[in-house]
Amino acid sequence: MTKDLSQDPQKSLCKLDEKEMNKSNLDHFRGIQNPNSLLMMLNVFSELSGCPCLLMNFEDKYVNSCSCNAMTLFNGGLIKNGESLFGRISEMKSEREDACIEIVYGPHARGVFVPVKIKGDLYGYFVYGQFVEENDPIAVKIANGDKLTNEEALEASLLKVLSREEIEENIEKSIRFAKGIVSQIEMSYELQNEIEKNKQAANEIRVQKTFFENLFENSPDAIAILDNEDKVIRVNKEFEKLFEYTQEEVLSNKINDLIVPENFKEEGKKYTKQASLGQVLEFTTVRQTKYGKQIHVQVTGKPIFLDEEKVAVYAIYRNVTEEVWQQKQEQIIYGITDLLNSALSQVELVHRIGDLLQPVVGNGQMFLDLISPTNRSLRSFSQKSSKYDQISFSESLSFSAIRRKRKLNLDEYQIKEIVDKNSLSLSEFPMRWIGFPLVDNDLVLGVFGVSSLNSSANLDSDTLKLLELVSVQIALGVKRKKREMELKTLHRSMEQSPASIVITNRDGDIEYVNPKFCQISGYSVEEVIGKNPRILKSGFTPQDVYKQMWEHLKIGEEWNCEFLNVKKNKELYWERASFSAIKDEFGKITHYMATKEDITESKRIEKDLLEAKNKAEESDRMKSAFMANVSHELRTPLNAVIGFSNLCNDSMNINEILEFVQLINKSGNQLLEVIEDILNFTMIESGNIKKVEEEFLMTNFLCEVKKLAAQKQILENKERLTLKFNADKRYSRILVRNDFQRLIQVVMNLFKNGLKFTNQGVVEFGYFVDGEKLKIYVKDTGVGIEKDKKDIIFDKFRQVDDSITRTFGGTGMGLAISKKIMDMLGGRIEVESEPNKGSTFTLVLDCIISKEKRSEVELVDANHMPTILVAEDELSNYRLIETILKRNKYKVIWAENGAEAIRICKEKSNIDLVLMDMRMPEVDGMKATTEIKKINPNLTIIAQTAYAMNGDKDKALEIGCDDYLSKPIKKELLLEKIKSFIK
């Protein structure tokens, strides 16, 4: 931007004062660092450029001493008469708010104005100029040959006059140079400003530090500064005084370890955690001095942040122990007054007063011993008990306070003296005891006080004064409570009575009923008040009973009777009632009261007892019948075994001996069945039988039933009966998952019954699938069962009737055992029967239907003789098994105990099967089986035992046996088991 000022002739030339300019006025440029250096820089610029220059602010103040050239430039070259340079600059600023570089042409010269900005604000201008030759008067004089004055001659020697063309050629260079000067000026100011700020900040820090030190050390409150780990960095003098620690003792120690009592540790941890999160804390709590003295303090905790990071925490502790004590005293006095005016029981009152006093008495326990109504004992209330203890005078120190009617403050030695002197037997021996007698008009009501098992109990003079004041209030309260308790006891006895209570006026209208009445009758209090008790009449109680009742009540006599009444919900109930008249002090009847007891349950129990008596008698009869049956069932085959055994001798021929042996064998099997039934029933009742699940085809199950049924038919001498076996052809290959042996046991029980109770016709076994259920049935054409007897046949010791028992025999346990087994297997037994037509028993089970599992059959050399290891400690048993096996082409090895069996299996790899006795010396069969299975997991082991029945099979299979045989060993079953494993 350029401006030509030569066309404004109206203003006279304004002379710059050289003297004023030379003063520099550096005081007005205090923001500039090292002004003298700046002056030198401006002079160098002027010398190098040949251009006069100056630095000027908005008050016409200048930094550098202006040369003659500068005066000439500014006193006629750029400004006119009456115009100030500051005015010119202000005019420029108003014209261009952005204060850019200005190029101004005046009457004799050209000037360049470069703005100086400090932090974005215009501070002033750096100004420099050049003379234009056609406008320079000295140049004109020289050109015209005019005489120059001495001054003009001097200036002429310094004046650099350029043509406009010359000025325009180096304008860009001059401007860049001027910008550099301005940049140095601005930087110089910024640096100086920062230095001044730092000096000021440092001074402020020193002031603040001094202020903080004075405030910290002279604070009336204790102050601690903590690091982020809760460790002490510094404490003030008041902290040392309050907590009795020195500065050196607390440094680098955690504040919680120093002043937080043991019972406030958790609280301390909580507040420490909150402080670590930068929270401001304000709370009142208890802290302790170095020597364990506890004081109440008001704590203020605030975090100290540096660059938004918490670096420390300062904690202020104000001792408020005295204020807390005064406040506690007031709270206790007002609190106890409120408690004594409340409706609390004596037990509740003692607990509540004790709670109020606990902060004051510390580890002391408050007690209240009240003289009982009989004046022969004390009712002792304490904070430790939820009820009062009835104690004798000789069991309490209160006896001495009652007798003396004055306060007793006893230490350990004084207590011992009183105990010995009065032969007292205390349940606890306190170390400190204080008792205040509760006196009402010279009558001692009891003793209030504090007992401590610790001699260091906090019972100072202030506490004693407070306790004495409390005792006066308690004495007044006890007197009032005593009267209230009498009324409450009466009312409570009625409200809590287990009997129904009704009070009516003389006209019989109800005025009061207790909760028990409402509970029994179903009526609410509002529904019966003002009503007549006849609302309870059921109509089953004769009217004469009510007439007799009123006849006795009207003359003041008691009357008792039983009623069958009706509740609100129309339910009948029995009541035993006692009626009496209530008389006033003159003997006049004012009310009637009925006390009634609900005896409905008693009536029911009476009825149940009668039924139970009948059932017990029936049970005794059944047990007697059962024992008779068992005796018969045991003695009958036993008689045959013993009898025929005695008959066998050398004089008998072989045919007779063989016949007797067959009879003995048959009777032995019968005897074994009875024993098995008894043992099975015992094990089922004791819960010792477990379900062992396995998968099996129903075709295999049918084959097993056929075989066992044929044997049972011969055993029962029922060869004349026809046996039928039916299977649902659609599901002939059904696969069932259940307990094979238990299911066989149930079916054979039913089959045995079918054979026993059928004299002619058919006994049929079969199975079919019904939906997801497998149904197995045993059907016979026997005597049948009457409809009302179907349920009892599954009860233990029960049969249809005694005549059948005598005709057919049996223990009556078979069906009971079968039902319990079916319950265990997750199934049920259904029965259909008609007398003289037969019965059908159906087993209903859940089943899994799937394809038959194929099993690989190993081919064995026809000439190979399988080797069987017999582990048996009894020689006779081994000889029997050896004879059976050798007759059937098996090699036999004998192990006399479990240890030997293990050894043989380790040494010989050609053993095909092991018969393992479960009970042997050294190592029993169970342990031996476990060890052998470790040696050869694929080796077949069949367990054999003579101890339990079906229960042993579960244990044997659990430890790894592949099958099970019970003693006595049956040849056919033994060979069948072996063949099932050795193909």
Taking 60 as the threshold, does the pLDDT of residue 658 lie above it? yes
Q: What is the pLDDT of residue 778?
A: 92
Residues in the chain: 983
Question: What percent of the chain is modeled with pLDDT above 70?
Answer: 75
Q: In what order do the strands lie in the sheet with 559-566?
A: 510-513, 500-505, 589-598, 572-583, 559-566
Candidates 263, 255, 228, 252; CA nearest to 239 is 255
372-423, pLDDT tens digit by residue?
Answer: 877 778 888 887 777 778 888 778 888 888 888 888 888 888 888 888 888 8
Taking 70 as the threshold, does the pLDDT of residue 438 lie above it? yes
351: pLDDT confidence band, cut at 50, 70 and 90? confident
Cα 266 from Cα 376, distance rounded (Å)? 48
Q: What is the pLDDT of residue 12?
A: 25
Q: What is the pLDDT of residue 241?
A: 93
Q: What is the pLDDT of residue 245?
A: 94
Query: For residues 74 and 143, is the Cβ–Cβ distance under 8 A?
Result: no
Measure the CA dihedral 187/191/194/198, to 10°: 170
842: pLDDT confidence band, cut at 50, 70 and 90? very high
The least confident of 819-833, 853-867, 904-918 is: 853-867
What is the average pLDDT across 187-210?
A: 75
The least confident of 46-60, 248-262, 461-475, 665-679 is: 46-60
619: pLDDT confidence band, cut at 50, 70 and 90? low
Q: Which residue has the higher pLDDT, 477 or 593?
A: 593
Task: Decide which of 3.20.20.10, 1.10.3720.10, 3.40.50.2300, 3.40.50.1110 is the CATH code for 867-981.
Answer: 3.40.50.2300
Class of domain 2-194: alpha beta
Q: What is the pLDDT of residue 941?
A: 94
Half-sphere exposure of 788 (CA within 13 A, CB side): 1
Taking 50 as the threshold, does the pLDDT of residue 141 lie above it? yes
What is the average pLDDT across 279-292?
A: 91
Q: Which residue has the higher pLDDT, 593 or 677?
A: 593
629-647, pLDDT tens digit by residue?
Answer: 666 666 667 776 777 777 7
Taking 60 as the threshold, does the pLDDT of residue 652 lie above it? yes
Taking 90 as the threshold, does the pLDDT of residue 239 lie above it? yes
Taking 80 as the threshold, does the pLDDT of residue 588 lie above it? yes
Cα 842 from Cα 836, distance rounded (Å)? 19
Task: Find residue 138's DSSP bridge partners.
Answer: none
Superfamily of domain 690-846 in CATH is Histidine kinase-like ATPase, C-terminal domain (3.30.565.10)
Where do the structural domains in the chain lie, given as residue ranges?
2-194, 219-319, 324-492, 497-598, 690-846, 867-981
Domain 497-598: give its CATH architecture.
2-Layer Sandwich (3.30)
Query: For residues 93 and 72, is the Cβ–Cβ distance under 8 A?
Result: no
851: pLDDT confidence band, cut at 50, 70 and 90? very low
Q: Which residue has the higher pLDDT, 938 or 799?
A: 938
The least confident of 52-56, 66-70, 112-116, 121-125 is: 66-70
What per-residue string of b and e applies to 62-85 under the rule 16 or more CB within 10 Å gives b? bbbebbebbbbbbbbbbbbeebeb
Q: What is the pLDDT of residue 929?
A: 93
What is the average pLDDT across 203-225?
A: 82
Taking 80 as the threshold, does the pLDDT of residue 600 lie above it? yes
Q: What is the pLDDT of residue 869?
A: 94
Cα 591 from Cα 170, distance rounded (Å)? 134
Q: Which residue has the higher pLDDT, 733 or 854?
A: 733
Read out DSSP for 315-358? EEEEE-HHHHHHHHHHHHHHHHHHHHTS---HHHHHHHHHHHHH
Taking 70 as the threshold, does the pLDDT of residue 951 lie above it? no
What is the average pLDDT across 898-922?
A: 90
What is the average pLDDT across 938-967?
A: 80
Query: For residues 361 and 459, is the Cβ–Cβ distance under 8 A?
Result: yes
788: pLDDT confidence band, cut at 50, 70 and 90? confident
Q: What is the pLDDT of residue 855?
A: 40
Q: What is the pLDDT of residue 627?
A: 65
CATH topology of domain 219-319: Beta-Lactamase (3.30.450)
Average pLDDT taken over every residue of the chain:
77
Question: What percent of the chain is modeled with pLDDT above 90?
Answer: 13
- H or E stretch at 112: strand 109-118
Superfamily of domain 324-492 in CATH is GAF domain (3.30.450.40)
Query: For residues 399 and 377, is the Cβ–Cβ distance under 8 A?
Result: no
Tell me whether domains 324-492 and 690-846 share a fold. Answer: no
Cα 456 from Cα 411, distance rounded (Å)? 11
28: pLDDT confidence band, cut at 50, 70 and 90? very low
Query: For residues 226 and 317, is the Cβ–Cβ distance under 8 A?
Result: no
Q: What is the pLDDT of residue 493?
A: 84
Cα 720 from Cα 781, distance rounded (Å)? 13
Q: What is the pLDDT of residue 512?
A: 92
Q: What is the pLDDT of residue 982?
A: 84
439: pLDDT confidence band, cut at 50, 70 and 90? confident
| Burial tier of 907 (Cβ tally within 10 Å: 0-12, 13-18, 19+) | exposed
Q: What is the pLDDT of residue 863?
A: 54
- H or E stretch at 432: strand 432-440
Candidates 481, 285, 260; CA nearest to 370 is 481
Q: How many angstroms separate the first and last alpha carbons of the chain?
A: 124
Q: What is the pLDDT of residue 623?
A: 65
- H or E stretch at 46: helix 35-49
Q: Which residue has the higher pLDDT, 243 or 140?
A: 243
Cα 24 from Cα 782, distance rounded (Å)? 147
Task: Find residue 121's DSSP bridge partners.
Answer: 118
Q: What is the pLDDT of residue 249?
A: 92
What is the average pLDDT across 208-228?
A: 84
Q: What is the pLDDT of residue 915?
A: 94
166-181, pLDDT tens digit by residue?
Answer: 666 666 766 776 677 7
What is the average pLDDT across 122-145?
A: 63
Cα 73 from Cα 87, distance rounded (Å)? 16
Single-letter code of the amino acid located at 85: L
Single-letter code of the amino acid located at 415: I
Helix segments in 159-307, DSSP class H: 164-169, 171-218, 237-243, 247-250, 255-259, 265-276
Across 44-53, 113-122, 180-189, 591-600, which has the greatest mean pLDDT?
Answer: 591-600
What is the average pLDDT across 695-719?
A: 84
Q: What is the pLDDT of residue 859?
A: 37
Q: What residues contact residue 947 under an 8 Å CB cut-off, 6+ apart?
A: 918, 919
Cα 445 from Cα 447, distance rounded (Å)? 7
Q: What is the pLDDT of residue 912?
A: 92
Task: Give the rounded distance of the alpha carbon of 576 from its chain centre.
Answer: 50
